[in-house]
């Protein structure tokens, strides 16, 4: 049994929720109030951040990108990384450089000047990539899609960003939302 220390509003935790759901992993969810964190939570992650997962008898594991990779190795089916090493590296690079999307997203949330243009440019880069391949992970859905979709969903549903100008991205999101794991996350975002 795995425990997930979670915050529904957290897009990093969303990555982990989605991977757990895609792989059908049974999980106990402990919601952490980030505005009033329990002192014991710092024993799970000295940085005090969610997400953290904990397998019974194992040390707690923070950092969403590391957790996604761990879950992929621990529960290989269904695979969420491509087989080809170059494709795997390309998927990992998108996650490693997630701040290409998240920095403009948070700037937009803070209503900084020029943020809208920067966020649109980030969406434009993803749209161009999705014009060449059906998923950010390559030919198949996978971790790069899971790694970035939480911010795209939140931008659309919480910040009112229109995706009409990004047809390949809008089509990708529509396909992703047909997956129960992503639809569930969209439901969480709608209720925030």
Ligand X SMILES: N[C@@H](CCC(=O)N[C@@H](CS)C(=O)NCC(=O)O)C(=O)O
- Helix locations, 97-179, DSSP H: 99-109, 115-132, 143-158, 167-176
Residue 119 has, within 13 A of its CA and on its CB side, a CA count of 25
Interface residue with ligand X, options 2, 10, 101, 189 (CB under 6 A): 10
Asked whether position 12 contacts ligand X by CB under 6 A, the answer is yes
Q: Is 5 in the site for ligand X (CB under 6 A)?
A: no
Q: What's 49's DSSP letter? A: P
CB of 35 to ligand X, least distance (A): 9
Q: Which is nearer to ligand X, 12 or 172 (CB)?
A: 12
Which residues partner with 184 through β-bridges?
none
Binding of ligand X by 51 (CB under 6 A):
yes
Closest by Cα among 7, 5, 14, 8 to 151? 14
Cα–Cα distance for residue pair 44/5, rounded to 1 Å:
9
For CA atoms 19, 21, 27, 29, the dihedral sign is: positive
Q: Is 48 in the site for ligand X (CB under 6 A)?
A: yes
Question: Site for ligand X (CB under 6 A): which residue of 63, 120, 140, 184?
Answer: 63
| Site residues (CB under 6 A) for ligand X, limited to 172-191 | none
Kindly indicate which of the ranges 23-31, 44-52, 136-144, 151-159 contains the residues binding ligand X, using the contact rule CB under 6 A.
Answer: 44-52
Q: Can you give the binding site for ligand X, defined by CB under 6 A?
A: 7, 10, 12, 34, 48-51, 63-65
Q: Which residues are catalytic?
A: 10
């Amino acid at each position: 049994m795995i425990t997930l220390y979670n915050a529904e509003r957290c897009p990093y935790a969303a990555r982990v929720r989605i991977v757990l759901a895609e792989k059908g992993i049974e999980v106990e969810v402990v919601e952490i109030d980030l505005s009033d964190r329990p002192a014991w939570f710092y024993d799970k992650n000295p940085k005090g951040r969610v997400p953290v997962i904990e397998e019974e008898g194992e040390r707690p594991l923070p950092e969403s990108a590391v957790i996604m990779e761990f879950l992929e190795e621990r529960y290989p089916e269904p695979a969420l990384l491509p087989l080809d090493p170059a494709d795997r590296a390309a998927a990992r690079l998108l996650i490693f450089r997630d701040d290409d999307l998240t920095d403009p997203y948070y700037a937009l949330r803070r209503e900084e000047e020029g943020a809208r243009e920067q966020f649109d440019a980030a969406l434009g880069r993803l749209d161009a990539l999705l014009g060449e391949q059906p998923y950010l992970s390559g030919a198949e859905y996978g971790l790069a899609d899971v790694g970035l979709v939480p911010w795209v969903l939140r931008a659309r549903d919480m910040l009112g960003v229109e995706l009409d100008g990004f047809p390949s991205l809008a089509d990708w999101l529509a396909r992703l939302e047909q997956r129960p794991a992503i639809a569930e996350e969209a439901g969480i975002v709608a209720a925030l």
